[in-house]
Amino acid sequence: MISAGKTKLKAVAAVIAFTLAAGANAKVTDKDIINDQATTNDVVSNGLGPRGQRFSPLTLINTKTVKDMRPVWGFSLGGEKQRGQESQPVVKDGVMYITGSYSRVYAIDAITGDELWQYDARLPDGIMPCCDVINRGVALYDDLVIFGTLDAKLVALNNKTGKTVWKKKVEDYKAGYSITAAPIVVKGKVITGVSGGEFGIVGKIRAYDAKTGQIAWERPTVEGHMGYIWKNRKKMENGISGGEAGKTWTGDLWKSGGAAPWLGGTYDPEVDLLFFGTGNPAPWNSHLRPGDNYFSSSRLGIDPDTGKIKWHFQTTPHDGWDYDGVNELIPFNYKDGRKTVKAAATADRNGFFYVLNRENGDFIRGFPFVDKITWAKGLDDKGRPIFNEPVRPGNPALSKDGKKGSTVLAAPSFLGGKNWMPMAYSKDTGLFYVPSNEWEMDIWNEPTAYKKGAAYLGAGFTIKSINEDYIGVLRAIDPKTGKEVWNHKNYAPLWGGVLATAGNLVFMGNPEGYLMAFNAKTGEVEYKFNTGSGIVGSPITWKMNGEQYVSILSGWGGAVPLWGGEVAKRVKSFNQGGMVWTFKLPK
């Protein structure tokens, strides 16, 4: 719905402002999306291009000029829903589109910061988001603004009016499903995962015709469940095998196996594959489900035309710590002698950084990117972890009362060496810029059973800081050597995304509220600005009227204050908020 209380005069003014800002053509094409990283006048996709490298070739704001960068407008999301603003803005023809907490969408004049329209989803009372009421952004296609909701719907809005063009129920929110990630558009299909692994849902990825909302295919991410291709509206074809039920699961556990692809995906047109990560197997109590539990805690290479899984790489087989495997897999090329390697990199919650062959998923190399890992002794030559079995939480069935297994101290904590917050890759420096955290946890297992719509953990935990003076660490990492080139330590946990630019800068926000710019080669802090609330969103940059702009959402929230245990005390005084800040150099 469009927000109530808008006067007719304001509506007319908004339409005029939109027309002036957007011009005659505000449609986004497949070509626009594929070329997003190179076309600096717009940002039309999450990640500044389908590969998700989050790199901009703009140089007007650089290490010499960034000190003069100033805010030019701020936009308040309004109301009382000021928490957990994890959205990445997108910009097309002078109009910015963002999402806010509680499944809201805004269109904003990118020159003035004036609101053009607002959409508020009608959420039911029974939504069950695991990790705050956040949303990470929209997808643009044709004249549509498409996003997912906390009650597991996919909604397409007209980009000029904010009115609903189509709406699809992806899954049943009463079973614990929700959608928080920004969708991705590939070849005219809008593709989304689902959240809800803590409720024993079945993870799945779905593709819809972006213009009509007609479903194209569905790919469950738990072995044993079948995928489908919809050839037309009347005929449903069983086109994809889901694997053998129980092959890597025990009994019927695969029926509520989790493995939610809750973060969204990337796409590489060079090899024509989607890359999605999957979450934890359910329940957390790994003693209830012996086996590797495909395809949980994995990276998947998926055919965008059919949904078929072409390859998979499992980072934490038989996951017993909720390390997931959803973190973004970023395609990049590098030279090995005279050979060009088509690689992809990911920094996992389990504390290891992986470089894979993106054509077939083969392991190239892996190494720790955090200082403390206790659950595994290392990786073997195939990239499989060498488990440190004494650090697996104990089996409650072997305890005296059968109610609680032995407690272990495991590092990283389940919130991960890196969580959802996207890293960036600079083709100029050849480095990945990884927002990471140093923390550990006491974790133990408990008995549990699946019940629709109820929490399905079978575990308890307390998260602890490893160091007194910092938790967050922004790291510059060479994927060819595993070397950490520089780092920047932060008192609170880092929970927002990173942007790299050809101006030799890396932008990032922190929970203390600062937008910061670092020298991409040395890590020196070149710029700081306090936005007034913690930053858990992802920055963008674009060029308009000959000037370079930088925008970021500010608004503290997300999983840390909800799940952070002792660490939550460190951030308890941080104020919530809801603002978009936009910066440029003075004329």
| Separation between Cα atoms, residue 134 and residue 178, nearest integer Å | 11
| Separation between Cα atoms, residue 323 and residue 138, nearest integer Å | 26
CA-wise closest residue to 44 among 158, 154, 212, 184:
184
Instruction: Round to the nearest angstrom and report the end-to-end CA distance of the chain.
Output: 40
Residue 403 burial by Cβ neighbours in a 10 Å radius (0-12, 13-18, 19+): exposed
Cα-Cα-Cα-Cα torsion 422, 423, 428, 430, nearest 10 degrees, comes to -140
Q: Is 563 helix (H, G, I), strand (E, B) or coil?
A: helix
| CB neighbour list of residue 111: distance below 8 Å, 6 or more residues apart | 21, 94, 544, 545
Active-site residue (options: 120, 322, 324, 348): 322
Phi, psi (deg, nearest 5) at residue 29: -105, 170
| Separation between Cα atoms, residue 374 and residue 206, nearest integer Å | 36
| Separation between Cα atoms, residue 342 and residue 70, nearest integer Å | 39
Q: Is 322 a catalytic residue?
A: yes
Which two tokens mark 237?
Answer: 């074809």
CA-wise closest residue to 316 among 404, 414, 226, 432:
414
| Separation between Cα atoms, residue 93 and residue 545, nearest integer Å | 11
Q: Give me the numbers of helices (H) and strands (E) for the chain, helices first please.
A: 3, 40
Cα-Cα-Cα-Cα torsion 275, 455, 218, 255, nearest 10 degrees, comes to 110
What DSSP element (H or E) covers 17? helix 8-22
- How do strand 459-465 and strand 439-445 relate by DSSP bridges? antiparallel
- How do strand 95-100 and strand 90-92 relate by DSSP bridges? antiparallel
Catalytic residues: 322
